[in-house]
Amino acid sequence: MSDISERITPPFTEASARQMVQNAEDIWNRRVAEVVPDDYTKDTKWRYKDAFLEGRAAILPFIRERWPIQEEYRLKKEMWAFAGDRISVRFISEWRHRDSDQWYRTFGNEHWEFAEDGLQSLLDISANDIEIAESDRTL
């Protein structure tokens, strides 16, 4: 999100939670790393698989290291549940590893928590990468 006046804030309704999920999917599929940190609090906490990040400043270096490895990336998110200032999401992504040309499908779950201003204060992701043939891609 680039304009704070457009920011969705908790407590979430079903419609606003679904919009948050769609916004996140759109941002990650655009793959513009510089805009991602803008949606997180300065003291945000991330767990992405086995990586633990603290603070907005840690997000951009993490993404800049990871994204170039995941070529032809495509992501689909689905809202799983929401309550108050929290949203849970299931996701599937497909991508080709830059060095090996091996295709992967990643299945995962995300748990999000938001501050009053709509910035995300917590991201907790559990995910598994499965090797697939290029012909098995669905996204």
Domain ranges of the chain: 10-136
CA nearest 48: which of 125, 106, 137, 133? 125
pLDDT at 55 over 90: yes
Residues 6+ apart with CB under 8 A from 82: 12, 14, 17, 88
Considering the four listed CATH numbers 3.50.50.60, 3.40.50.300, 3.10.450.50, 3.40.50.1820, the one that applies to the domain covering 10-136 is 3.10.450.50
Q: Residue 118 has what pLDDT?
A: 97
- How high does pLDDT run on average in the chain? 96
Mean pLDDT in residue range 89-114: 99
Task: Tell me the three state secondary structure of residue 102.
Answer: coil
Dist. CA 116–CA 61, nearest whole Å: 26
Tokens for 50? 């086995």
